[in-house]
Amino acid sequence: MGESVLTAGFGRVDGTLHCDGVPLDALAARVGTPSYVYSAQSIREQYARLSEAFAGAPHRLHYSVKANSSLAILALLRELGAGVDIVSGGELFRALRAGYSGSGIVFSGVGKAEAEIEEALRADVLLINVESEEELRLVNEVAGRMKLRARIALRINPEVTVDTPHPYTRTGEKGMKFGIPHDEAVRVASIALGLGHVLLAGIDMHVGSQIALFGPYEMGLQRLLALLEQMRAAGASDIRYIDIGGGLAVTYDTERPIDVTQFGVRTAAMLAGTGLELIVEPGRFIVGNAGVLLTKVLYRKRSGGKEYVIIDAGMNDLLRPSHYNAYHRIEPVTPVGGRIVADVVGPVCESGDFFALNREIDDVSAGDILAVHSAGAYGFVMASQYNSRPKAAEVMVDGDRFGVVTERESYDDLIKGEHVIPRWSAL
Ligand code: LLP
């Protein structure tokens, strides 16, 4: 039989892997592969866990759209009462399409373009999280032109040490590109107080992603609260939000899961008496384990004494194994018995196109459907068309029902916007 089931929403019935009430072999036959499959119920449960965990403090949960920006998922979370955290004009567009209003949106990001700032102000977002003095001045200028006062938070680099599975997912260490350096925060706050078209309404941090311990948050929060004192002393009387970013870890393998209850209790204790409303921007925690990537085994082969399992999903569909050397559990939907040690690789013409190296998995043969687990976050959103591979479909399961929420791309989609003959012009 397959490996033990860790993923909420996914379990075996008579040996066959199901997403809630839907058997995944039959689903693959119906919608084709590769396809992402998400459990609506699992997303609801994770959201509820967070709401309960933070119940001890006035708080707002702003789902981080970058983790999975499918309209159906955004709409599901909106119904549950979530806000969103966005990082681009494109994500703003999606959030508005999914029915969010400006008051449910915070806008983060290290390099917001002027047009994006303008779009955010037009949508009247709750907060623009400003990451540099130059950005602050630009927001003020754009808001002035639009005859508005922009509500902003200062994203401060708390400069704490964080341990994440890969250096690429650390953001809150000294010298990183994100946020206002810690020792400049009070000066930038004073500048904000002197500008006529911004209202300094919050402070913000984000320490990294896939963080299982409270330590880095606690340290960062302490540093933010100390800065807040200084900012208030300097006249900042409108700061009412404290945004601690996202980053809460999920279980990919056998890691100890984050204790969200403890996280919520300790955060609430630290914020008691500050008069601040907490904002949390979780992405992965809500959707990470709510999705799998279904893929078909195309071939088996041996090369140089090694076993290869060649599947119809590639690094263009799920980049995390090749980009971060990330672990994703892989198992056949219907195991037939036996174990092998193999490299599970995709069809893309890159040696880095792998899902697992030298991994012990259930024995599989051509035609078998595999589930690549914990693919709900940073899966489809990081997909590309590299090797001219149309993007996969996305499917939502709710109980016994399923529905395609993103159609599989066609070959025509691959050439959308292209011109065989350039539309020449001269300047
Ligand atoms: N807020 C900010 C400002 C962020 O930069 C991020 C993630 C989040 C919230 C949400 O973090 P989460 O709760 O999902 O960990 N592609 C990488 C992860 C990059 C995360 C970037 N920022 C991966 O696949 O592991």
Cross-strand pairs, 397: 39, 402
Check if 64 has its Cβ closer than 6 Å to any atom of ligand 1. Answer: yes
Q: Compute, in angstroms, the gap from residue 283 CA to the centroid of ligand 1.
A: 7
CA 335 – CA 273 distance, rounded (Å): 55
CB atoms within 10 A of CB 32: 15
Check if 62 has its Cβ closer than 6 Å to any atom of ligand 1. Answer: no
Task: Pick the closest to residue 280 from 64, 130, 2, 12 (CA basis).
Answer: 64
Q: Compute, in angstroms, the gap from residue 337 CA to the centroid of ligand 1.
A: 37
> Tokens 């373009």 sit at which residue?
113
Hey, which of 284, 315, 320, 322 would you mutate to test ligand 1's pocket, going by the most ligand atoms within 8 Å of its Cβ? 284
CA of 108, closest atom in ligand 1: 3
Residue ranges of domains in the chain, CATH in brackets? 10-39+288-414 (2.40.37.10), 40-284 (3.20.20.10)
Contacts of 379 (CB under 8 A, 6+ apart): 36, 68, 291, 293, 317, 318, 320
Sheet strands (E) in 9-159: 10-13, 16-19, 22-23, 35-39, 59-64, 83-86, 105-107, 127-130, 150-157
Sheet strands (E) in 40-188: 59-64, 83-86, 105-107, 127-130, 150-157, 180-181
Active site residues: 349
CA 374 – CA 302 distance, rounded (Å): 28
The predicted pLDDT at position 8 comes to: 57
CB atoms within 10 A of CB 43: 27
Check if 378 has its Cβ closer than 6 Å to any atom of ligand 1. Answer: yes
CA of 284, closest atom in ligand 1: 14
Check if 289 has its Cβ closer than 6 Å to any atom of ligand 1. Answer: no
**Which residue owns the Cα nearest ligand 1 atom 16?**
378
CA 104 – CA 107 distance, rounded (Å): 10
Q: Which long-range contacts (CB under 8 A, 24 or more apart) does 91-97 make?
A: 91/65, 91/66, 92/116, 92/119, 92/120, 92/123, 92/125, 94/65, 94/69, 95/65, 96/123, 97/71
Q: What are phi and psi of 135, to 5 degrees?
A: -65, -40
- The predicted model scores a pTM of 0.96
The predicted pLDDT at position 6 comes to: 41
pLDDT in tens, the chain (427 residues): 333 334 459 999 999 999 999 999 999 999 999 999 999 999 999 999 999 999 999 999 999 999 999 999 999 999 999 999 999 999 999 999 999 999 999 999 999 999 999 999 999 999 999 999 999 999 999 999 999 999 999 999 998 888 778 877 777 778 888 899 999 999 999 999 999 999 999 999 999 999 999 999 999 999 999 999 999 999 999 999 999 999 999 999 998 888 999 999 999 999 999 999 999 999 999 999 999 999 999 999 999 999 999 999 999 999 999 999 999 999 999 999 999 999 999 999 999 999 999 999 999 999 999 999 999 999 999 999 999 999 999 999 999 999 999 999 999 999 999 999 999 999 9
The predicted pLDDT at position 3 comes to: 38
Check if 155 has its Cβ closer than 6 Å to any atom of ligand 1. Answer: no
Specify whether the CB–CB gap between 32 and 244 falls below 8 A: no
CA 42 – CA 384 distance, rounded (Å): 26
Specify whether the CB–CB gap between 251 and 373 falls below 8 A: no
Q: What is the CA radius of gyration of the chain?
A: 23
- Would you give the DSSP letter of residue 409? P
CA 79 – CA 70 distance, rounded (Å): 15
Task: Pick the closest to residue 244 from 272, 271, 212 (CA basis).
Answer: 271
- Would you give the DSSP letter of residue 349? S
CA of 323, closest atom in ligand 1: 24
The predicted pLDDT at position 7 comes to: 47
Q: Where are the alpha helices (DSSP H) in 150-278?
A: 185-194, 215-233, 260-271
Check if 207 has its Cβ closer than 6 Å to any atom of ligand 1. Answer: no
Residue 111's SS3 state is coil
